[in-house]
Structure 1
Amino acid sequence: MKVKINGKVFDIPKGVRFGELSHEIEKAGIEFGCTDGQCGVCIARVLKGLECLKEPSEDEEETLWRIGAVDEEERLTCQLIIEDESCGEIELESED
């Protein structure tokens, strides 16, 4: 599925955790630290396609809470997984 991250387009298969592609996604300006949802470095805002993504795990929710993310559109890029390819496009923007 096509995913736009900070204006760059990536082809990310359904079911693949974005953290597994961190070396490629970093080219779009998303920084990764731990890639397992603990550090919060890769926080991004989902501009489009939130409904396409798997719900955040308890660990991701805990990290988001700890770093002060309050909007449901704020997610850890490393933890994102496409769950539904039929819902349209996905677009992310890193938080600065």
Structure 2
Amino acid sequence: MTLKKLTILPTGTEILLPAGSPLTEVEYETPQRLIPFGCRSGSCGACVIEVLEGSGSLGEPDHDELDFLEDLGRTGGHHRLACQCRLRGDATVRVADDI
């Protein structure tokens, strides 16, 4: 099993997850609520993250995710819905509300 590292800012918490894991697994790896997951289906926007490093490591966003991010005013390609991402390589993210 290959582990990949997700670093979550501003805390700098590093979490190791098996390659291909959904980012929702973060909830089970630490007692802290590092990413505020809501619906887990990409329709509430609670889990918007800014990808600082490793955007290719989170998979490609689909059209619905991109449309919803645009509705939220999160354009430019650096934001994602964490609930729609799978960790395929190391990445560093920041919860968008902490910016």
TM class by shorter-chain length? Answer: 0.7 to 0.9
Q: Which has the higher helix share?
A: 1
- The worse-fitting range, judged by mean Cα deviation, of 27-36 and 45-54 is 27-36
Q: Which has the higher strand share?
A: 2
How many residues in Structure 1 have an aligned counterpart in Structure 2?
A: 91
What runs of 5+ residues in structure 2 fail to find an aligned partner?
none
Matched with 1:94 is: 95
Aligned AA for 1:41? A
Q: CA deviation at 1:35?
A: 0.9
What runs of 5+ residues in structure 1 fail to find an aligned partner?
none
Runs (4+) of structure 1 exceeding 4 A deviation are: none
Matched with 1:11 is: 16
Aligned AA for 1:52? S
**Structure 1 residues 26 and 47: alpha-carbon distance in aligned structure 2, compared to 1, 3 A threshold:** farther
Aligned AA for 1:58? H
Q: In angstroms, what is the RMSD of aligned CA positions?
A: 1.9
Percent of aligned pairs with the same residue? 31
Q: CA deviation at 1:28?
A: 5.0
* TM-score normalised by the chain length of structure 2: 0.79
Residues 1-56 of structure 1 deviation map (CA, whole Å, 9 limit, x = unaligned)? 0110121111122222212x152367253211101111111001111101222100
